[in-house]
Amino acid sequence: MEKKQELKTDNSMANSAFSDEIPGSLSLPSIFDMPCDQSDHQKGLSLGFMDMLSIPADYNPSLFDLFSTPTMMPQPQVQPQQQQQQQPLPSPASTVPESSEVVNTPATPNSSSISSSSNEGQTKAGGGEEDQDQEKTKKQLKPKKKNQKRQREPRFAFMTKSEVDHLDDGYRWRKYGQKAVKNSPYPRSYYRCTTAGCGVKKRVERSCDDSSIVVTTYEGQHKHPCPVTPRGSIGIATEAAGFSTFASPFVVPHPQYQQQQHPYIYSLQPRLNVSTSTTNLNHAFPSFVQDQRRFGTSSATFLRDHGLLQDIVPSQTRKDQFKEEE
C-alpha cells in the first residue's frame, strides 16, 4: 500500500512544483487559478472554485470567502422543477452569493449512477451466435438495471493542496476504479467505503492546472461511526489535518436546507454563527469535519484567530492570499 502510495506521490511530484513547499504540508489553492472542467460543470458537478468564477467581478471576497468557498462544494439535490419551485434563494448572478450553494445549482438533473446488480431484463440485440455467447457471459457478469433512474447521492467536494492523492479521512476506502480525465493528464480514482452497508463513495482527482491540488468529492452518507479516532488522524500535520483546516471550519448547515431534510446541503455563511442543528449530519462528513463541528466554529473567531490554519499553512502562503485579495 505504502509502496503504491509512494509511486503515486512520485508521479504527482514529478508534475508539480514542490520545490518551495514542505512535503506533506498544505497551502491554500488560489481559487482563481483553478481549471474549469466544462463537462462536470454542465452536469451540475461543479466545484466550488468554478462557481467562484461566476460571481460578480466586483465581488471582493473576504478572507473567509477565499478559503471557504472554493474548498467546500455543496451539491444541492434538487430536481429541475423543484429548483424553480423551491428556490427562494436570490439570483446568483445578481447578487453576491451569501451562500455558495446558490451558484452550485446543477444545470441538469442529478441523473443517475448507482448501478445495480439486479438481473432485470438486461438484453441487447446481439449479433451472431458467437457474439451471443459472449454477450451472454457479459450479461451475466454485469447485469444492470434499466428503466430505473439511478439516484445520485448528494455530493460535496473540496480541494486540498497535497502531494498525496488519497487523503486519509479516517474512514477505510477501497478503490474500485480509475479513469482518465478529459483534458487532464491525471486520472480520477474512485473509492468506496469498505464498511458493510455503507455506500459512501469518493472521487479523487488532481487539478490539471495545478497538480499539487487534489479535488476530493464525497458522495453519500456514512451510516457508521468513523473507524479511526478523528484526533488520531489529525494529530500529525498530514493531509487529514489539511482537510480539517480547509473545509470544516466553514461548514455551516443551511437552515433552509435543514428544513428540507437535505443532510448534505450546506451553506457557507461566513458572517453568521454556526447553526445548532446537526441532526442527520453526523456521518455525512469525514470524521475530521465532524470533529470540527463538534467543537463549533465561528467565522468571527476564525478571522481573528486562524485556528488550525495558522498552525498548518505556512504564514507566507497566507500572506500571499492576503495580497491576492488586495
Residues that bind DNA (CB under 7 A): 1-4, 7-8, 37, 39-40, 42-43, 45, 108-109, 111-117, 122, 124, 134, 138-139, 141-146, 149-150, 166, 172-182, 188-191, 194, 201, 203
Classify 296 in phi/psi space as left (phi over 0), alpha (psi -120 to 50) or beta. Answer: left
Query: Which residues pair with residue 178 across a beta bridge?
Result: 189
Minimum CB–partner distance for residue 205 and DNA (Å): 8
**Nearest approach, Cβ of 301 to DNA (angstroms)?**
36
What is the closest distance, in whole angstroms, from the C-beta atom of residue 38 to DNA in the complex? 9
Give the other-Cβ count within 10 Å of 18's Cβ.
16
How far is CA 73 from its chain centroid? Answer: 6
Q: Based on CB atoms, which residue is closest to DNA, 184 or 280?
A: 184
Closest CA to 273 of 308, 244, 297, 291: 297
91 versus 140: smaller Cβ distance to DNA: 140
**Which of 95/112 has CB closer to DNA?**
112
Minimum CB separation from DNA for residue 326, in Å?
36
265 closest CA partner among 256, 276, 274, 275: 256
Quick one: cell of 298? 465561528
Please, which residue, 144 or 318, has the CB nearer to DNA? 144
Q: How far is the CB of 143 from DNA (least distance, A)?
A: 7
Q: Which is nearer to DNA, 112 or 276 (CB)?
A: 112
**Exposed, middle or buried, 180 (CB in 10 Å: 0-12/13-18/19+)?**
exposed
